[in-house]
Structure 1
């Protein structure tokens, strides 16, 4: 050691302490020392500074070696403790070693002291290094655990042969609802992959095992309640002696992003269809202008017979209805302004009830649930009526054996999260109009096409035009 060796002697005989010191210095050791002979003296010495080792007699007038050893342990000190005594039995020496003393040296055999002390100092350094390494490991593990638990994603490890999870972070239960303990069950991952995505998800893990870097995939896993959650899974392989040992990765919930992407795609499709509809409506209006103009000229002839006049009026009436259709197409393409006004949705829905009953037939029961004190809304009444009629016709076709069609109005408050998930929606007070039927419903594939204007499930001849 570069500094003097700090030794604490627990010894009542000053001469014996001097003998020990001389023996150590003859061996080339530079020693800084202090002698104590009572519990109080030892406690004070331990408080004043740190010591490298303790050399203790077995029996002292007011203290003892076993008591000194016990005091050292009570303070949590891991210091070399060597009993040096000339009046101790073999049984006492064995008991001292069992109690935690590191060695026993007789005063009549001090030649053993230097090598014993050197050995115990090395052992103490080794123990200290191990403790520091363990503390560093625990600290690293704590930091890693804190990092993993703070990330809003599923951090995981899995066997690269069986794909069985060996670790998942607590966020796994928060995102998918399955307790973390279930993830370690054999086949859990594959069993909870969405059937349509299972092949690609498993293939991405297999590519990682084969050593293909940068593996990631987006797929759906099934929550505990059966709902599907979109995950982006980034996978890496951990090698052991050049061969893949295990897989590690991070699964991030990207459901909201996928929903926004789908809404963006839908809006782009609607924009393209709107542009097409606007162009068609413009050309169609030109043709209708000619038909209506010549029809009006023909009707102005005073010599028309009643039969011919009736036919011409039917032509003009059909052309007028076509003008209404082009108005809807232009509104859809936003080339013609809507005609919104403040209205009462209850009044609009009530005015349609008689017509809806004739439209849906007697085998379907119409129920109106009108909210009291409904807030006024600003909308184009003609388009609102058209939406209700279209929904009623679709509901009728979905209930060939009869059922119930419900029109419901209510006041609702849309929050920020709803607005973020629905393009075009704004948070705040709104009036809701809900049209509900007890028909056959729609499967997931049909729901994905719900707002596509040209999509239909009807066969030719069933009202598709």
Structure 2
């Protein structure tokens, strides 16, 4: 057992030494603070931060019972043991009812050491139980938030869809700079709103899928989440070496990691300060890695969270990644541990540098894979259609009209159907289309039923399914679809056109 801090409330130095001798005889290493009045007791609770209080019952000008009352007003778990020569049976029972942990008679101190060990163990068990209960309550709160966010996200995405498509369409009017500027404003507002919805929903639901994370998107979403959390006495700076850099990772977990580190830094600087989050590529040699880490030299992305706060002493640094270790009054001691596990799950490593009075720096290193140069898919000639007939099936009239107009403007022949029934009627009259763009969230004749009816009619080409993220309909009862592309809603013009291009190539229609 490590050294325990014992606060003794005792006016007799001789009796205090006898108590200490009893503990040392049982191999309990103790650091002791002796007080005999109320001011000294309160000061010791703040400065000494004891692990246990041993108190006499009767002290001139003070009392053990009053000391117990003062302690319980501050801490309901800290062990408090009466060590007295005058404690009768009725008084002992009353003391236990009032919150004392145990009582020991000075005439019979043999049980003192075992009582101290048991009291400390029970107190730690109660704290662990409360931490677990708090974590459960927090998990339940996040689950409720995720359900609420999921319910709202569908309507918000439908509201944002016209902004994204209309903004792109307006930008094509290059001969009218005013309309082009308006288009850019509308599109940017739609994208910013979509980023906010995606970030909040993703963070609340705790999605764990691997994906391509674009650095600029990650930082933009993180900036949105941090708005309102940075006090006016602080400044936060974001600096990115290459916003277009992409790497394999989990967007939600990376946000959680950055949030943990930044909120910790903010709480460490109650009087204000400067917080900087930066990202740059670096090369790590094999000798950079510590024992127990996989020494993989090569290119890494380094994301750093740097503050100019009070810093940490070496004793704190040695324990910051231990479960439940915290220096905050209401901390769980799990934040930094979860950050380290997230970085490790990405194949990376984490470093911390801090000294008292010199701030703190956390460096997160993520491995970067060498990626082949990709073709510029924003080139207009690459994305334009070749008069392919595209059947667009969407229930919401505004979205349907914008999607059809967008496809017409990019060289496709779009036919708009507001229901699966209308789509089938069009097929009977005009024949099978070359491509199908289908909303997965239709109500009366669902997306899955429409797909089934299309295949019964003999359609076997590509289908672009517009679906809410994480809510792809169950298609297991349908015949296998060789070319099915699921695209998150709301869809941007560029994503839609790239997916159509991919579908054309799969069908042998694109060059």
Structure 2 length normalisation: TM-score? 0.33
Higher relative contact order structure (alpha carbons within 8 Å, sequence separation ≥ 6): 2
Larger Cα-atom Rg: 1
